[in-house]
Amino acid sequence: MDRILVTGGTGLLGSEVVRHLLTQHQKVAILSSQTNPKIPSGVDLFPGDLRSGCGLATAANSAQTIIHCASNPRDSGETDIKGTSNLLDAITNPDTHFIYISIAGIDKASYPYYVAKREVEKKIQASGLPYTILRTTQFHPFVLNLIRGILDSNEEVALVPDGMRFQSVDLAEVADQLCRISQSKPAGLLPEFGGPGILPFEDMVRTYLGQTGLHRQWKPYPVTGPRWDLFRSGVNLVPDNRFGKTGWTQFLARVQR
């Protein structure tokens, strides 16, 4: 059985991918720069650092398939762009299937993290390796963390950025897609994968407060900034690709259990 290497395998998405692969009885390895990371039983660990390139050759050439989930929005130049270049350069098997998780709309935005992710896509496409790129809309936990961060502010009335819309998607469904891709032939750039519904951010806040029973004063407000403006622009939406099944309300119900 061919081994599948997951970069970022201890992160939010990567750990979910690993869990899905194990349920399918796949041989799984993780590339990690952490010291003594917690990993599931039966998973091989390869110490390595994307930014420095240390340990990448041993890890990359131990697998027939690589699912590249590692990313750092706060340091995308080093982790995403340079790190992916180092990883691609470390691969000596020309038949290695390189799978990359990307973001819907990155080819339409000037937001720095999106620009970095698009640069990574270009590097993969130019590498000569067989590849598959899956672009998805924002994950439900991403939106949840946005809401919690805004509502946890010290303001008496929390200011919720108005005009934003999300088509958030379930993390487990994305992980399942990546696992399916790993068992299929390389397919290049796939159709974007979006959640089942497009919702105004204000409605998502109301649903969150209703399901949690929290009492917090808030109001929509024209908060400006690159991130808020990005999600107002609509480039993060793929209305014709509502492939996800688990909606925002269902996700919140599961989180509250």
- pLDDT string in tens for the chain (257-residue length): 589 999 999 999 999 999 999 999 999 999 999 888 989 999 999 999 999 999 999 999 999 999 999 999 999 999 999 999 999 999 999 999 999 999 999 999 999 999 999 999 999 999 999 999 999 999 999 999 999 999 999 899 999 999 999 999 999 999 999 999 999 999 999 999 999 999 999 999 999 999 999 999 999 999 999 999 999 999 999 999 999 999 999 999 998 86
**Spatial separation of the C-alpha atoms in residues 40 and 15, rounded to whole Å:** 9
Q: Which of 240, 201, 194 is nearest to 221 (CA)?
A: 201
The contacts of residue 233 (CB under 8 Å, 6+ apart) are 109
CA dist 57 and 118 (Å) reads 24
Question: How far apart are alpha carbons 134 and 174 in whole angstroms?
Answer: 9
pTM given for the model: 0.96
CA pair distance 60, 49, nearest whole angstrom: 12
